[in-house]
């Protein structure tokens, strides 16, 4: 299972994911967010064979540099075509999320049937723990996108994924975070910095709570 | 012979087992109290929780991989103390012999001061001494 979320900010957006892949009884790790072009990243939640087939087809696209509005038709056709190319088996399922930032954040969601929706300047999540993520989004909805920069969006994204991992079966570390524009994957050290910031926020919350109890 | 970044972390952990945020702030205060002038030392930036050097993270990772320090696993996302292994203790001892007494005194004083502090207390101490490194902190508003 997977959790991928997008948080828009005043200067761009952040996409974050968990890093656990479950293959029957085996847990392993994988990077779930890919770069489409300098302004766009994408990820998917669902059946890995389908996701990897789509990844291969996306890599072969000759017009990857275009924006999502122009790519929407191609991407929406590509996914059901990949489903057809898979061997007969149980119904394959996956949801694909593309996020780009030009003058504002644009999010494209595509399902296995090729149905797509386009959203602008709102946070969104796909995969397991989505409801939990949306609940946490609500607290900060008024801040997005104009009230936060990419740094704070990254802290928020990291914190939501970390808290979801604690309570949701099937999602796990390592957490991955991208920010754009330009599309940039945070380094291991930058991710550790986010982890420490989120741990600090949690510690601060506990300390404030304890002070309130004592007073 | 000058100290390496690994030596500085080992010298801190020789004084006390500390978690990552305390090690970060100890490394900063050692630099700050040394007139912000230690050759080939960590480079700090004003980060989301105050002074931070991402090199501290990579050095801690290297020391752990090489068996000089260890950090027991913890089921919850909390800061957990790093400890010197026997190999780390021997290396820290060697580093101590190469370190001037004044420097050892600064390291010992910093570790003694901060090792018992909680998260708020630690940030209070650091922000009071180096407010220029608190400018980007998310915690600035609640640290009095």
User: Domains of chain B, with CATH numbers?
Assistant: 5-133 (1.10.10.10)
pLDDT reading at A32 higher than 70? yes
**Count of beta carbons in the 10 Å neighbourhood of residue A165:** 20
Q: Does A192 touch chain B (CB under 8 A)?
A: yes
Q: CA-CA distance, A29 to A20, in Å (whole number)? A: 5
The predicted complex's ipTM stands at 0.91
Name the one residue in this structure whose structure tokens are 């609640």.
B142
Alpha carbon of A24: minimum distance to chain B alpha carbons (Å): 24
Instruction: Please list, residue by residue across B85-111, b when 16 or more beta carbons sit within 10 angstroms of its beta carbon and e when fewer do.
Output: eeebeebbeebeeebeeebeebbeebb
Q: What is the per-residue pLDDT across A36-68, written as a single tens digit (0 to 9) for each?
A: 999 999 999 999 999 999 999 999 999 999 999
Confidence of residue B1 (pLDDT cuts 50, 70, 90): low
In the structure encoding, which two tokens stand for residue B7, read together?
């030596």
Q: CA-CA distance, B34 to B28, in Å (whole number)? A: 10
Neighbouring C-alpha atoms within 13 Å toward the C-beta of B81: 12
- Restricting to B residues 6-35, those with a Cβ less than 8 Å away from any Cβ of A are 20-21, 24
Q: Does domain A3-186 have CATH number 3.60.20.10?
A: yes
Of all residues in chain A, what percent carry a pLDDT higher than 90? 76
Name the one residue in this structure whose structure tokens are 């999602």.
A171
Q: CA-CA distance, B124 to B20, in Å (whole number)? A: 17
CB–CB of B79 and A192 under 8 A?
no
Q: Which residues of B touch A151 (CB under 8 A)?
A: 48, 136
Q: CA-CA distance, A87 to B37, in Å (whole number)? A: 65
Alpha carbon of A144: minimum distance to chain B alpha carbons (Å): 17
Of all residues in chain B, what percent carry a pLDDT higher than 90? 88
Task: Name which of A17, A12, A16 is nearest A149 in CA terms.
Answer: A12
CB–CB of B138 and A188 under 8 A?
no
Name the one residue in this structure whose structure tokens are 């230690």.
B38
Nearest CA in chain A to B56: A189
Q: CA-CA distance, B48 to B21, in Å (whole number)? A: 12
Q: Is the distance from CB of A73 to CB of A26 less than 8 angstroms? A: no
- Name the pTM for this structure: 0.92
Alpha carbon of A97: minimum distance to chain B alpha carbons (Å): 28
Alpha carbon of B96: minimum distance to chain A alpha carbons (Å): 28
Q: What is the per-residue pLDDT across A164-193, written as a single tens digit (0 to 9) for each?
A: 998 888 889 999 999 999 999 999 999 999
Q: Does B38 touch chain A (CB under 8 A)?
A: no
**Count of beta carbons in the 10 Å neighbourhood of residue B35:** 7
Q: Domain limits of chain A?
A: 3-186
Burial (CB count <10 Å: 0-12, 13-18, 19+), residue B76: exposed
For B59-86, the three-class secondary structure string (H helix, E strand, C coil) is HHHHHHHCCCEECCCCCCCCCCCEEECH
């Amino acid at each position: 299972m997977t959790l991928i979320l997008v948080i828009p900010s005043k200067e761009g957006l952040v996409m974050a994911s968990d890093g656990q892949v479950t293959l029957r009884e085996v847990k392993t790790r994988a990077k779930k967010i890919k770069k489409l072009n300098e302004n766009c990243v994408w990820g998917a939640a669902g059946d890995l064979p389908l996701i990897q087939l789509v990844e291969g087809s996306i890599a072969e696209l000759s017009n990857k540099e275009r924006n999502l509005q122009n790519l929407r038709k191609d991407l929406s056709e590509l996914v059901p075509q990949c489903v057809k190319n898979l061997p007969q088996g149980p119904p394959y399922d996956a949801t694909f999320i593309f996020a780009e930032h030009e003058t504002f954040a644009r999010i494209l969601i595509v399902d296995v049937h090729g149905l797509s929706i386009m959203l602008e300047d709102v946070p969104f999540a796909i995969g397991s723990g989505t409801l939990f993520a949306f609940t946490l989004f609500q607290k900060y909805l008024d801040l997005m996108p104009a009230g936060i920069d990419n740094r704070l969006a990254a802290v928020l994204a990291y914190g939501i994924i970390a808290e979801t991992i604690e309570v949701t079966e099937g999602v796990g570390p390592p957490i991955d975070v991208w920010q754009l524009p330009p599309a940039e994957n945070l380094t291991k050290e930058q991710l550790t910095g986010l982890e420490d910031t989120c741990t600090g926020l949690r510690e601060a919350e506990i300390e404030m709570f304890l002070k309130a109890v004592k007073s | 012979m000058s100290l390496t970044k690994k030596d500085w972390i080992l010298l801190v952990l020789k004084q006390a087992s500390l978690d990552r945020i305390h090690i970060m702030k100890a490394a900063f205060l050692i630099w700050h109290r040394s007139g912000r002038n230690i050759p080939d030392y960590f480079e700090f930036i004003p980060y989301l929780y105050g002074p931070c050097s991402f090199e501290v993270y990579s050095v801690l990772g290297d020391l752990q991989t090489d068996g000089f320090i260890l950090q027991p696993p913890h089921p919850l996302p909390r800061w957990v103390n790093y400890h010197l292994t026997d190999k780390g203790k021997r290396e820290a001892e060697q580093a101590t012999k190469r370190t001037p007494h004044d420097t050892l005194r600064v390291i010992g004083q910093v570790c003694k001061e901060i090792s018992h502090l909680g998260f708020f207390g630690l940030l209070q101490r650091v922000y009071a001494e180096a407010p220029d490194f608190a400018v980007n902190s998310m915690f600035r508003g609640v640290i009095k």
